[in-house]
Structure 1
Amino acid sequence: MRKKCVISLVGSICLLLVALVLMTAYAKATPIEEPIKLNAVSFIATKTHTAKTFIEWIEMVNERAGGKMKIKFLGGPEVIPAREQVEALRTGVVDISISPIAYHSKIVPACIAWALSKDTPWEERKSGFFEHMSKLYEKANIHLLAEIGKGAEMYFFLNKEIKTLRELRGLKIRTIPTVATLLDKLGCKGVTIPRGDIYVAMERGLIDGFLSPPSLVIDLGQHEVTKCFVDHGFLVSVIVFGVNLDTWNSLPKDMQDLLSQTAEEIERIDYPRYFEIEAKAKERLVELGVKKIEFSPEDIKRFYAIVYESFSADLDRADPKNGSILKRLIIHKVGEGR
């Protein structure tokens, strides 16, 4: 009896060992599925609200992907210079990036249409504006995912106090491609310098002013070299979330859906938040000694007429066919109240 028990025990141990060997062999033969890895960069420093919103979205995606996909944030312009990031995205050096439409005029000339629109991101999706713009970006090998920053308009920040629209004439203003025509029509002298050089240029009098959302002026400490700002915003600061089109097409449908859904979520989260941030930033600027300038009703009307005429003319020159389509899809135009 005892002998039978021993034999039975030995048999059980042998079966267990065989099972372990088979399980090990199966595990080796079946590799663990690695998550899809994507990398992302921001055109602007991580301490800014824009970059923080981008990182917030990345964390949202990573959490909901359940280990199936992971986006790694590489950093800001210290990783890839800001103006080189669009080309890096287009060619697949990076998978995802955020950048302002000011950097996109060469690859999607009709992007200037955003400068004419006061519509919310979801209004632009509903009207067909976003869909049409997406098709244009696809031709540049970029999948358009989202837009943020529409609550942040550009304002004139100056180191010389003015009272009227006419006094903008002759001032040296830091320029970017999207505002070159506008500055010319206002009689300003456009000066091309990197964003990072604005502080020193203002300090040394190389420029008399620049355009920026108020919150960014505080984030970058530029209020220290600024005397006043003209409290009439324009040119919504549209920041585009883009995915390399080849990368996008390689993703499984559920991961594409995740990126799209979370992108639309961050649009709705960030839009009202931007308005609140910019309103508080303007109050803070005044507290810091930066004077708020308001034009007369006549000057305000003329100012916004020039803004619309300038951007509309730029769009007509850049891409008349698509420009005409996009203009018709805009519900609320710049200069109109909301």
Structure 2
Amino acid sequence: MQRRLMIQTTAALALSAGLAVPALAQETTLRLVSAFAENGIYAQRLQEWVKKVNAEGKGVLQINFIGGPKAIPTFEVGNAVKTGVVDMAMSTGAFYTNVMPEADFLKLTEVPIAQQRKNGAFDAINKVWNEKANMQYLGRMVENQPFHIYTNKKVDKPDLSGQKIRITPVYRDFFQALGANVVTTAPGEVYTALERGVVDGYGWPIGGIFDLNWQEKTKYRIDPGFYDAEVSLIMNLPAYRRLTPAQRDFLNKQVLALEAQNDFWEKYKAEETARQEKAGIQAIKFDAAASKAFRDKAYEVAWAGAEKQSPEVAKRFKPLFAPAAK
């Protein structure tokens, strides 16, 4: 009787303080999807991270990896996070511009995520993501992966006139400024589009084309690279706020641990460049002046588009995304 009375008293005190007794030891499971194919390098590293989180988060937080585009189509992932259909996703901003056009601005970061967390960029991003997309921007898991133009038509200057190039919003404005006719498709459709001549080429980071077998249908890569492939973890804002302080702290520490591994991508870039050469993909290189003009134009066109699309946000982001020397 005394034991029962003690338990009831403890429960009553907890409830009076606004706490539910089971919550003291409750484990939360978050549903996670990938906007990229499960067999690709991004999703493979994501799943390794999920295993680590689940091993270390027993009794606190677990992640249920639901899958890639077969679970939720690539361009629907952002809305699934916004509306709470899933709790988390690994995606790139270019894939959820239908939710918020500002998502594409992340490609313009020229400083690493560690510096973004220190110089105010990370907080500025989250302010916009919270307000416009009902999302929490958790962290960035891919860096040092410049985009390139891959084509089956050789060029001797930065001119894509007459070429049909597959795009995402990342490089639409830039490729059009170079004279290309642009075609939007999901990554899973690019191989067939190349095979059938629907497109002459595509934009993509330095890494990852072997995951999709595109090297079989690719002759040239144009150097230098431009922008930086941004692949990040985003989370439904209400789901993030429902986490207990302990759960939120654990999740944030795990994301920081993931970001601490981002030096992997510099090595991966070198390996993929060599691998492309071995596969017969020829690098098209311009002289120093043309290369600088090419890269400068990429950023000028992109920032001009950003300023037109969302002037206030672009103005806020631009000085935070640029190297200190600029």
Q: Would the aligned equivalents of 1:153 and 1:236 in 2 still touch at CA under 8 Å?
A: yes
Q: Would the aligned equivalents of 1:213 and 1:278 in 2 still touch at CA under 8 Å?
A: no
The structure that is helix-richer by fraction is: 1
Question: Is 2:314 the partner of 1:323?
Answer: yes
Match of 2:142 in 1: 149
Counterpart amino acid of residue 80 in structure 1: I
Match of 2:81 in 1: 89
Match of 2:290 among 278, 295, 299: 299
Q: Would the aligned equivalents of 1:164 and 1:296 in 2 still touch at CA under 8 Å?
A: no
Match of 1:242 among 205, 222, 234: 234
Question: Is 2:220 the partner of 1:228?
Answer: yes
* Distance in 1 of aligned mates of 2:66 and 2:281: 35
Counterpart amino acid of residue 322 in structure 2: I
Match of 1:57 among 49, 54, 79: 49
Q: Would the aligned equivalents of 1:113 and 1:327 in 2 still touch at CA under 8 Å?
A: no
1:313 CA displacement? 0.8
Question: Is 2:171 the partner of 1:171?
Answer: no
Match of 1:42 in 2: 34
Per-residue CA deviations over 1:63-107 (Å, capped at 9, x if unaligned) read: 222322211111111111111111111111101101111023243
3-state secondary structure, aligned to 1:45: coil
Q: Would the aligned equivalents of 2:40 and 2:208 in 1 still touch at CA under 8 Å?
A: yes
* Distance in 2 of aligned mates of 1:244 and 1:113: 20
| Aligned-pair identity (%) | 28
How do 1:252-331 and structure 2 match up within 5 A? 252-269=244-261, 271-331=262-322
Match of 2:106 among 114, 118, 121: 114
Match of 1:202 in 2: 194
Q: Would the aligned equivalents of 2:35 and 2:68 in 1 still touch at CA under 8 Å?
A: yes
Match of 1:184 in 2: 176
The structure that has the greater radius of gyration is 1
Count of aligned pairs: 311
- Shifted more, 128-137 versus 47-56: the winner is 47-56
3-state secondary structure, aligned to 1:163: coil
The runs of 5 or more residues in structure 1 that have no matched partner are 1-17
* Distance in 1 of aligned mates of 2:318 and 2:286: 28
1:36 CA displacement? 1.1
Aligned-residue Cα RMSD (Å) equals 2.5
Counterpart amino acid of residue 35 in structure 1: E
Q: Would the aligned equivalents of 1:35 and 1:69 in 2 still touch at CA under 8 Å?
A: yes
* Distance in 2 of aligned mates of 1:318 and 1:331: 19
1:34 CA displacement? 5.0
1:173 CA displacement? 0.4
How do 1:7-46 and structure 2 match up within 5 A? 35-46=27-38
* Distance in 1 of aligned mates of 2:127 and 2:320: 15
1:137 CA displacement? 0.6
The runs of 5 or more residues in structure 2 that have no matched partner are 12-20
Per-residue CA deviations over 1:269-324 (Å, capped at 9, x if unaligned) read: 0x211111121011011111111111111211221121011111111011111211
Question: Is 2:54 the partner of 1:69?
Answer: no
Q: Would the aligned equivalents of 2:171 and 2:203 in 1 still touch at CA under 8 Å?
A: no
Counterpart amino acid of residue 59 in structure 2: G
1:31 CA displacement? 7.3
Match of 2:18 in 1: none
3-state secondary structure, aligned to 1:72: strand
* Distance in 1 of aligned mates of 2:270 and 2:220: 16
Counterpart amino acid of residue 158 in structure 1: T
1:240 CA displacement? 2.0
1:194 CA displacement? 2.0
3-state secondary structure, aligned to 1:199: helix
3-state secondary structure, aligned to 1:47: coil
1:61 CA displacement? 1.9
Match of 2:16 in 1: none
Length-normalised TM-score, structure 2:
0.89
Per-residue CA deviations over 1:156-203 (Å, capped at 9, x if unaligned) read: 11112222213x222110021232111111111101222111111111
Match of 1:12 in 2: none
